[in-house]
Amino acid sequence: MLFLAVFCGFLAENQREHMIEHNREKQYINSLINDLQLDVAWFDSVSNSARLRIQNIDSAILFFSRSQRNNMPVNIYKHLQKSTVQIMFFANNETTTQLKNSGGMRLIRNRATVDSIEAYDRLMRRLEMRRDITNQVTHDFILALNKTVVGSDLLGALYDSVFFNKTVIPGRSINLNIHHLNELINASIALRLRAVSDINVNNSTKETALSLIEFLKHKYHQE
């Protein structure tokens, strides 16, 4: 009888621990789904920002392709200036980081779920490397723009004596260091190509995130 009581107690304790771990697993999955949904929304913002970058670059490239002058209108410079700005993607990876660092991955019993989470995490690390490359391409573009534009003309066209933005005179132009113009054009083309590539990769990764959300919801019977 004593042995039976101890054995039943052991089974009850084992069952209680199993239920606790199962509840923790569901909590992790719910948190991971929330992170993925945030990623999806962020991918949309990043892609929209990249499209705006392309529009601004296209306006400048169109001007360069038609002009042989050694100056550019202020509005073209502003397009180039705006194209230096793009929202960057940073993964919402708090849950995945916690799963890896705290040993929580062992709580996920389904092997396919573990494989899917790890595959998405590897994809996020590749996106970090892509972000670094995009930042470098942007940096190179900014250097080329700064070398091409005559700074004194830029000051006179855009800013007053206390460095406030002022109303731009229609038709006002900024002189160019013409020997750096080809470098600027090449940097503009490189930046545009990078923005197109970023959009394609972001859209593909967004689809992966959506598929993972559906997989997790189905596997864990989420609404």
Strands (E), the chain: 71-73, 173-175
pLDDT at res. 127: 95
Q: By residue range, what is the domain housing residue 204?
A: 2-44+51-219
- Dihedrals phi, psi of 103, to nearest 5 degrees: 75, 15
pLDDT at res. 7: 43
Token pair listed for 216: 């997790």
Q: What number of other Cβ atoms are within 10 A of residue 96's Cβ?
A: 22
pLDDT at res. 222: 56
Q: Which residues of 56-75 are buried (b: 16+ CB within 10 A; e: fewer)?
A: bbebbbebbeeeeeebbbbe
The structural domain count of the chain equals 1
pLDDT at res. 99: 82
Q: What number of other Cβ atoms are within 10 A of residue 217's Cβ?
A: 14
Averaged over successive runs of 10 residues, the pLDDT of the chain (223 residues) comes to 48 48 76 94 94 94 82 90 91 88 76 90 94 96 94 76 59 87 94 96 96 91 57
Give the whole-angstrom CA distance, residue 120 versus residue 15. Answer: 32
Q: Are 201 and 128 in contact (CB under 8 A)?
A: no
Burial class (CB in 10 A: 0-12, 13-18, 19+), 128: exposed
pLDDT at res. 16: 46
